[in-house]
Every structure is written in C-alpha cells, then in structure tokens.
Structure 1
C-alpha cells in the first residue's frame, strides 16, 4: 500500500515536472514574441525590465509649414540626466555652472527620478548651442545635451493634419511585409493617414543603459546611443499651410465663437491651402466619440444662396440674364408674397447682389426646360461636384489623394427631383438636396477669380528627406472636365463685386475693408429644429483684392439660429488681418 502511494506521488511529481518544463520551453523558446492570448512579446518585456531609456525622437515624420516651420513636433535642446548618477561622485557643480542653476536643483530633480529625465520642471530647461557644446565637452557619463523632439502644445489645423495611434492590426494590414514594432504609431485620420506610408517610423532614436534589480548600472556606466540605420529618416511633409496665417485664423474662429464650422483660405495663384480651421475642437482623449475628428471643411453641407452663383453662370451662358429683364422680388419662389423681403422689381444684377430667391428659382426652371441636367453641369464646371483636392500618381500608387476624406458635392440626390419644378426652385437657392463642401466653394471662388482656370487644391507641396532633399513634389495640376469661359467668369466677377458695392447688397458690410472684396452670402435652412427654432448654415464666400485677386476665403457657421452666429464679422476681421499680414511681410 505504501509502495503504491509512493509510485502515485512519483508519477504526480514527474507529470508536474513535465508540465513545468513544457511551460518553460513555451516561454523561453516557442512563444517568445507572442505569449498568451494577449500576444505579449516576452523578449521585449525582458529587455525593458533590465534597461532604462530616454527616447530622443519617436521616428515618425513631421509636418512643416510652407516656410519650413514645424507644425506637429519641435526639437528642443535639453539636458538629459540618468538616475545612476545618484550612486556616483560626479562634477555636478560644473554642469550647474554651465547652465546657470544651483547644484541643489539638479540633484533634487535626480533624486526624484525613477528613469532618465530631461532637466526642468514642469517644462524642460532649454539650452543654448554654447551650453550644449560646453556640457558635451565635459564627457560626464549619464549627462547629455541633445535635441529632443517634443509635440507642440498648440497644434494647429488639427483635423486637417489628423491623429495617430498604436494599432497593431492596422499596422499589419498596411505593412504586413515589413518589420515594425507593434507599438509603431500609424495615421488614423487626415494627412497623418493619407501620408502614413511616408511618415511611419523607421525606429526610435534613444539613449539606453542596462540596470540591475535596484536600478544600478549592470554593465558599467556606458550609455548607448541608438538610432535608425537610415540617416535620411524621419521624413518631413512640407505643407502649403502658412503657420502665422493658420494661427491667426484659429484665434479669430474662436474669438467669434464658431462652435461648428470654420474657414478655408486659398492662395489663388497656386491654389494652395494657406489656412484651414474646423470646429468643434478635436478631443484627443476620445477623438472618434464626437464630431471633433471630422474636418467640417471637407464635409458636405447645405450652402444656401452661395449656390446661386452656379445658376447665374448658366443663365449668363444661355442668354437668360438680359439687362432689361426684371423679376418680382417681393414674391417667394412659389409666387406668393414674401413675408420677409419686399425688394420690388429687380434686374438680374440687383437680384444677385440682394440675393432674390424668386429670380433664381425662375431662372432654374427655365434652364431645366432646356436641359434637366443643366445645374449639375454648371456645378461641375465650377468644381462643386467631385473632389477638388490634389490626386494623381505617386510612385506605385496611381490614384493617390492628398485629402481622401473629402466629400463629393451634389445638386440632386434623387432623379425625380431633377424634373420637379418645386424641387428645382429649391435647389436653385441651395436648398433641398444640394450639398457642397466649404473647400469646393473656396475653389469655385478661386476659379472665378482666375477667369475660369479650374485647378486642383494642394495642401502638401513635397515630401522631403530629413536632410531637406526632395523625395516627391506635387505639381500644380488642372482639374479635369469642362469649366466656365473667361467671358462668363468676368460676368460672375462683376456680380460678386456688386454684392459688396450695392447699397442693399448682402455683402455691403465689407465695403470699407482695406482689401476690396467680391463674394456671395448664403443662409441655408437645415431642417433641424433647436429650441423650437429653425437652424441655419451661415456662409460668406469670396475673394480679394478684387482688382488683383490673391486670396479666396470661405467662412461658415453651421446649425445656428437665424438671429445668432452671424459670419460676416469673422470674414471681415480675417480680411483685415490678412491685409496687415501682407503689409508686414
């Protein structure tokens, strides 16, 4: 009996040893890089337990403005201190003397550290080039003066540039054939997403040293400097954004309390985006939980009377805008008395300047009788239908798009609406199923200002290596398809100017600005009631100076009450600030 028990215990012990050996083999030999259902990399974990590191550069590329100023990260010269200095006698007084601080401050910061630190609290202490050189000349182990990459605290154009995050599944989907750490950042939205293949990190630059169980140096006090093997990385994406104008635009949008909306500013000659602001603000803690991650300047919205520009272009070409012709602008689009506006009889030019709905409803129905697809055709000629962002071949990608999140505009959603006079009348004044993006409207204004020259909108000029040499450049390109004639563009230019100079024009508030403005207002009913009141999208789109066009600007406030959220003050102040900017530069 006793022998039987011993045999049983012996079998149990042997089985236990086999289980332990098997488990140990799994940990040490088999599942070293993907242990358990969580896919834990045991090798990385083991290394991280016995190393301490200070990341100098996360390896991901940066975005620059048109003059080379950083938009996401900046490199700051800082003093790096390693905690093993607490166990050594080292010339702290010499370091303190170089940077002009007390020895006590340096030692206190080290005493509280559980890993390498950038000296300074709460912000890192910025070194001069002279201080950097003097510190590194001392050659003190564990003391380094380096340029470390930090995210900018006031990131601008946040929706346009987009966000990044750790997403191993997405990383594998995009780059399955390449070896990247699972913690590599990938672009999730905006330019970070569209240019991710250029930006994705080749590896971190870091200072590393090995420690024992209590944090003391394991292999002496040597610190290893580790960086990617390719000196041309990280890549820089040089955008067309002007950082100063972007900051100015961001501040003005917030000053005028635009909660949902924003602005787009284009350079007319190059058709480059100089500034783009979208609200609401991006919530980086929960970016996909609200509208903040969406760029409202690339989303389709109801444009209201801004769309009358399309009808005007078609009416000019088809001889419906005769100077002698008048319209009853005391009536609404259905021929009933208008309770809000009693303009009386107006000609075509006055109708456009004062935004008479009846005129453009009548014209649209006459155009429909000629061709039911007339408004679609002219909306496309003026770049409101289809994408306007730069697209073309980039290396192995034939249809690369700088702005892949850009919505496509439309006039009619349903085919039956195209043949219904009531729906046609509503569409003529930018209501019903008409949807356009603010970027497309800005491009329409730029196209008119250039005399009908329809171009793609660029937001990135080039992709550059870390040393500044060019990887790829994005040339100025025409938008495909028909456009308006120079004659029609000239007529539209005069109409847009009349909006401002007419004593009752909807843009008369801009008459005294330092730059002469041409443009069109829009107030669209959204069909959404808030507090029992109808909500509106409020627009002003235009270009300036009128005599020598340089900028196209669109401002929009979305979903506001009729007696709130006026957009004219924002447009006016932006024009003034741009004028001041030009005088100073």
Structure 2
C-alpha cells in the first residue's frame, strides 16, 4: 500500500515537473513572439519592462504626392529627453542656451514624466543646433528627426485611415507576429495598399534602466530600426498637392457641407485632386467625415442626359434636324420651363426633360440594356478604377468604388414612366463623381475610354520602382464623330443662348460640361416643396480647345435657392488656371 502511494505521488510530481518544463519551453523557445491567443510578443514585452523608449518612426510606408513629397507625415527636428534626467545632474543650462529656450521651461516639461518626451518648442531645429546638442553626449538628451503624422492630410478620405487592431492584423498577416501592434489600413488607399505599407519594424530610441527608472550606466542609447534598406515601401499617388490645396480652399470658401470636387488629368486619366466634405476631423477618423463622397454612388440628375444624348447619336436615333416639343414635360403636360420646338443640341443646352425622356424610351425599345451599355462605354459606370493582376492579387483594383446602377431591376425597363425618369437622371440612377469625371474625360479625348488611377507606383525606400501602374484602356468608348458632336453640345451648355450655365463664360478657361439638379427625396424639416433637398452638379472639362482637366463639382443636400454650383466650379477653374500660369 505504501509503495503504491509513493508511486502515485511520484507520478504526480513528475507530471507537474514535465508540465512546468513544457510551459517554460513554450514561453522561452516555442512561442516567444506569439504567446497565447492574444499573440503577445514576450521578447518585446520583456524589453519594455526594463527600458524607456520613444518611437521615432512607426515604420509604416508613406503616401507621396506626384512630385514625390510625403503627404501623410511631416519630418521634424526635435529634442528627446528621457525621464531619468530628473534623478541626475545634467547640463540643462547648456542645452537651453543651444536651443534658445528657458532652462526652467525645459525642466518643467520633464518634471513628472514617466516616458521619454519631445521637448516642447524644439520642433524645426537647425541641423547646426542638432549637431551641437548631440556633441554634448549627454545620456538621455538626443536631437533626432521624428516623423509626425500631419494634422491635416490632403485628400484625407481618398488616402484613408489606419488603426491599431491586433485581431485584424493577425487575420490579414497570420505569419507576421513581430510588431503586431503596428497600425493597419482600415479605409481608402491605406486599406487597399496595406500589404505594401505594413511596417517591418518601428524605429525607436531605447535606453535600459534599473528598477527605479535610473540609467544603467555603460548601456548607451540604442537606435532600433529595420535593417532592410529597401523597406518600408512608399506609395506614390497621382495627387498634385498644389491643385489639391487650391480645391480644398474653394470648398472651404463656399462652406460646402456635403459633396466635393474631383479633378482628373485627361491625358493620363489620373486623379489630380479629390476633395470630399464633410471634412475628416482630427481625433474622429470614423466620424461623418470618413465618407469619401467622390467614390459614393449618388443621384446625378440632368448630368445623366449626357449618356442619353451620346447613345442616341451613336445608335442613329437622332440628328440635329429632328425637333422635340420642349413645351411639354415628360408626361405630356405643360413644361415648367417651356423652350418651344428645339433639336438635340439645344435640348442638352437647355436641359429639356421631354427630349431625353423620349429618347430613353426609344433606346430601351431598341434594346432594354442599351442605356446601361453606353453608361459603361463612356466610363461612367462599372469598375472604372485601374485594375489588373499585381503579384498574387487577381484583378487588383486601386479605388473600390461603390457600385453604380441605372435601373433597380429588369422589370423597370418595361415601364415607360420609369424609363423616362431614368433618362433625366432620376429614379434609381446612381453614379459616382469619379465615374462622372471619367465620362467627361472620355468625351474630351475624342471617345477613348481609360481606367482611372490614383497611384502611379509603389517605390522602395531608395526611390526605385517596385510596381508600376501604367495607363490602361477602359470601356469601349464611343466613335470620334459622336464624341465631336458631344463636345459641341457640352460647350453649348455654357455659351448657347439657351444654355443653363452662362455664368461659366467668365471662367479663366473655356469650359464645356453639363449641369444637374437632382431631387433626393429628402427634406430639411417639414415635408414641403420649399424644404426639398437637391444634389447640385456640374461636370465638365477645360480648356475646351485643348482639354487638360475633367472636373466634377457636387453640392449635396442643399435647398433649391442655396449651394449654387456655378461659382464653385468657376473658382476651381480659375484657381487651376493661376497654378498653370506659375
């Protein structure tokens, strides 16, 4: 009996011992960088317990504008002070003298600090000041270049935001444990290009301290960063920072609350500027300002008549000899704004609803899918962003636009009233401002359609290209003859006696385009006509004779007598003209 008890206890002790050994192996050998379901990096955690450190660069790749300048961060020359300076004698007066600061202010910034601090007022030091501070060789005082996220990021909604999300990090990158707390892209280009941008390792200053927080003398500060000189990668966008700033200022001048401006380079079909309102607020990256309305599918109103006109010309349903009764509305009643009997050219200039309601029905009778076909051909609908096979990505898309639509269902294509409303850009029609600008660029180029791009290259740290995104053909486009006619018609919107946009004749460049006032079905307050909200559009291109830019402006959810779109568009054209003259 006694032997059995000894054997039993021995087995328990040995089992416990082996369990402890196994646990120790798990902690020290097997799961050192990915412990437990929380994926804890034990090595980094142990280092953090016995060091004071400050991150100089989070290590994530940057977004650059088309000139190669960073648009997501600034680089500042700063002085970093470590907390243990409070416990030792150090030449604070000398440091203050070099920096041109008050010694008392420096000590006040450091007092009570538990982590390394960036000395207030030390930003933008000269290189000479940095060299003199570092020449003192004071342990705990370092002048360094620190990357700081910009408080206001150009094209903020297009660029997107990042966030620290350990769960999301491991879902995307199960094989990358080290640095699991690094930011990941959660929206916009930050999310789309996240795998290229993800940090290899943070750059930081690390100083070993004892249990009381004092320095371990003999252990100098360490600069820890990725040893790979080619990473992290940078994403070079097509954004022109000067044009972006100019359009941001226009949106601010007119206090645009919802909507924005989208500018395309006609030759390259690249996004030059993208402004979305409401603004993204600092500290509220997922608030109402997070929505990129330039990629949202919106009600276009009469701008959509451009599709009906182009399709009708291309299909031979109309020429300039055919007249339309524009004294009548789409249902045969008296028109609110009668224009008499006019042809297709004047109908587009005057935005006659009856003409385009009739033509939409004729197109649908010929082929129920014809309107949708031409919206695709013009580059208005469908996936108009740059897409292709890149490394292991199949059909990689740069922009991921919200899906556009023309009809809500096939049944709607058999209802003449619904078709009529579709022909004037109402009912279920939803298109993106990017698609709208792309359609204008297609017409301005003579009918050739291309995909829209926002990124030109992904670059190594040394500036060499890793991935290029060359210009790619888009939809089928339209014939040069139809494109030429549409160019004339769109110019007539501005300079014709019947045109709806004579205000734009005063713009610095000759403008061609189309207006749109879309009923949204929403109201501000009581549901009465005076409170009805509209999306006001102007989509066009310029200069008319030598097209360079396609621009869309949309002011959303405004009353009929507010939020005028013509001054917004004109001031944008004028601002770009001034930039071109510099």
TM-score (norm 1): 0.91
Which residue of 1 is the match for residue 511 of structure 2?
517
The alpha-carbon deviation at position 345 of structure 1 amounts to: 1.9
Which residue of 2 is the match for residue 181 of structure 1?
179
Which residue of 2 is the match for residue 443 of structure 1?
438
The alpha-carbon deviation at position 46 of structure 1 amounts to: 3.8
The alpha-carbon deviation at position 435 of structure 1 amounts to: 1.2
- SS for the counterpart of 2:154 is coil
Q: Distance in 1 between the 2:281 and 2:78 partners?
A: 29
Q: Distance in 2 between the 1:454 and 1:263 partners?
A: 21
Q: Distance in 2 between the 1:136 and 1:285 partners?
A: 34
Q: Tell which deviates more after alignment, 215-224 or 573-582.
A: 215-224
Q: Distance in 2 between the 1:32 and 1:178 partners?
A: 13
Which residue of 1 is the match for residue 301 of structure 2?
304
Which residue of 1 is the match for residue 449 of structure 2?
454
Which residue of 1 is the match for residue 119 of structure 2?
119
Q: Structure 2, unaligned stretches of length 5 or more?
A: 1-11
Could you report, residue by residue, the CA deviation over 1:274-333 in whole angstroms, capped at 9, with x for unpaired residues? 110112223564544x54322111111111111111111122123333323222212110
Which residue of 2 is the match for residue 326 of structure 1?
323
Which residue of 2 is the match for residue 490 of structure 1?
484
The alpha-carbon deviation at position 28 of structure 1 amounts to: 9.8
Aligned with residue 366 of structure 1, among 353, 362, 369: 362
- SS for the counterpart of 2:53 is strand
Aligned with residue 505 of structure 1, among 499, 502, 508: 499
- Is contact 1:158-1:282 (8 Å) kept? yes
Q: Structure 1, unaligned stretches of length 5 or more?
A: 1-14
Q: Distance in 2 between the 1:499 and 1:362 partners?
A: 20
Could you report, residue by residue, the CA deviation over 1:163-210 in whole angstroms, capped at 9, with x for unpaired residues? 111112221121112233231211101000111011000011111112
Aligned length: 563
Which residue of 1 is the match for residue 469 of structure 2?
474
Aligned with residue 564 of structure 2, among 559, 563, 566: 566
Could you report, residue by residue, the CA deviation over 1:209-258 in whole angstroms, capped at 9, with x for unpaired residues? 12223211135451111111212222211110011211221222122122
Q: Distance in 2 between the 1:345 and 1:257 partners?
A: 40
Q: Distance in 2 between the 1:90 and 1:517 partners?
A: 67
Q: Distance in 2 between the 1:428 and 1:380 partners?
A: 15
The alpha-carbon deviation at position 25 of structure 1 amounts to: 9.2
Q: Distance in 2 between the 1:22 and 1:217 partners?
A: 38
Aligned with residue 220 of structure 2, among 216, 219, 222: 222
Aligned with residue 148 of structure 1, among 142, 146, 149: 146
Please say if 1:83 is aligned against 2:79. no
The alpha-carbon deviation at position 68 of structure 1 amounts to: 1.6
The alignment's C-alpha RMSD in Å is 2.5
Q: Distance in 1 between the 2:213 and 2:383 partners?
A: 57
How does 1:159-308 map onto structure 2 within 5 Å? 159-220=157-218, 222-283=220-281, 285-288=283-286, 290-308=287-305
Alpha-carbon spacing, 1:540–1:77, altered in 2? closer, same or farther (3 Å): same
Q: Distance in 1 between the 2:200 and 2:405 partners?
A: 42
Q: Distance in 2 between the 1:19 and 1:449 partners?
A: 79
The alpha-carbon deviation at position 426 of structure 1 amounts to: 0.9
Could you report, residue by residue, the CA deviation over 1:489-511 in whole angstroms, capped at 9, with x for unpaired residues? 00000000000001331111101
Could you report, residue by residue, the CA deviation over 1:310-369 in whole angstroms, capped at 9, with x for unpaired residues? 11112212333332322221211011112x212222222111101000011112222222
- SS for the counterpart of 1:446 is helix
Alpha-carbon spacing, 1:36–1:382, altered in 2? closer, same or farther (3 Å): closer
The alpha-carbon deviation at position 109 of structure 1 amounts to: 2.8
Q: Distance in 2 between the 1:211 and 1:252 partners?
A: 53
Q: Tell which deviates more after alignment, 438-447 or 383-392.
A: 383-392
